Amino acid sequence: MRAEDVQRLRAETPGCAEVIHFNNAGSALPPARVTETVIDHLRAEAARGGYEAAEAAAERVEGVYASFARLLNASPEDIALTDNATRSWQAVFYALRLGPGDKILTCRAEYASNAIAYLQSGATVEVVDDDETGQLDVADLERRIDERVKLISMTHVPTQGGLVNPAEQVGAVAERAGIPFLLDACQSTGQLDLDVTRLRCDAMSGTGRKYLRGPRGTGFLYVHPRLRARLEPVMLDLRSAVWTSTGEYEVAESARRFEVWERNVAATLGLGAAVGYALEIGLPAIEARVCELAATLRAMLSGITGVRVHDQGKRQSGIVTFSVDGMPSAELRAELARARINTTVTGPTSAQYDFTARELPDLLRASVHYYNTEEEIRVLAEEVDRLRP
């Protein structure tokens, strides 16, 4: 990505003039186009009425499905739009209706919300071992497959580190075994170049607020027709199904069977603007820029005495996690915030399997995006060096 392109993207991101934002894995700074899209529709609702404004925007809302289809190399019929990534993920997981006697295979890097749902289901949860690089061990995954396994579910990029799990290889294993593969792409969507055909996932969930740079309260769900045909959602309404007679209903054939009727239309349009923005830049260019910046940050932090970088994996993403000897991560985060540098803290309650296995302390998470600069990275590293005990 050329320097002039980065400067243009920063100029189109008002927040870049206010803060150094390294909390993109939490909620990225939106481009002005996204904010203006949301505000314009809210004004239309205020002036004309919510239903009337939605009717006028119906074609643009439909375009959001088409944009996601382009982003993921899918069909618009495979896409559902939701209010967050967890609801997207839950819509598929709970429709599988797993219980005692069933087995779920997952990764050590698994996210808390997903793990809690596994435990609630009553199914047996097996955590697949990591390989020597810290990513999911595909050979161990294959060894664990038996007739009881009803789901392979994995977080692509964890909340607590830069690891990118080998989703393509996992998808190939699941496909050969005929087992549904549910991929949590909450942190990878918008920073990595995703292709559901290449990934071979049966379902994928994601959010708008992180690397896609969309509004909060937005999410998406991809569901392959082969899985969609066998799942009836746990909850239905007049969006996901049609009441055909007093005693009958028909579930929507498309992935919209996982939606509900009421939605934040302004936020949905903002999400569409964010996806369009990412497509204009190009996901290969975004991925290359993000991974390069993250590698630079890891190298700088690793050169500071008393700083430990905890990222694993053969392939790594834009999330960088580290700790400083003798300084709690929460204290470091607060001190960086005073210097107008945004980071966050990730701890065991977000990823118990991983934190317990590696005996990790609370970690400071600095997640870069393409609008960050090498100078901002240098400033962060210098502040960490200055603040360490």
Q: What is the pLDDT of residues 159-172, one digit of tens each?
A: 999 999 999 999 99
Q: CA 251, CA 228: separation in Å to the nearest integer?
A: 11
CA dihedral 293, 74, 229, 172 (to 10 degrees): -60
Residue with tokens 């995006």, as numbered in its chain: 369
- Predicted local confidence at residue 298, as pLDDT: 98
Give 19's contacts (C-beta < 8 A, 6+ positions apart): 340, 341, 342
What's the sign of the alpha-carbon dihedral 162, 168, 171, 172?
negative
Q: Helix, strand or coil for residue 281?
A: helix
Q: CA 312, CA 27: separation in Å to the nearest integer?
A: 23
- Predicted local confidence at residue 11, as pLDDT: 98
- Predicted local confidence at residue 173, as pLDDT: 98
- Predicted local confidence at residue 267, as pLDDT: 98
Question: Are the C-beta atoms of 100 and 349 separated by less than 8 Å?
Answer: no
Low-confidence ranges of the chain (pLDDT < 70): none
Question: Are the C-beta atoms of 367 and 25 separated by less than 8 Å?
Answer: yes
Q: CA 123, CA 98: separation in Å to the nearest integer?
A: 6
Distances (CA, A) of 262 to 45, 51, 236, 257, 268: 15, 11, 12, 14, 11
Question: Are the C-beta atoms of 128 and 137 separated by less than 8 Å?
Answer: yes
Q: Helix, strand or coil for residue 75?
A: coil
The pTM of the full predicted model, rounded to 2 decimals, is 0.97
- Predicted local confidence at residue 198, as pLDDT: 98
- Predicted local confidence at residue 350, as pLDDT: 97
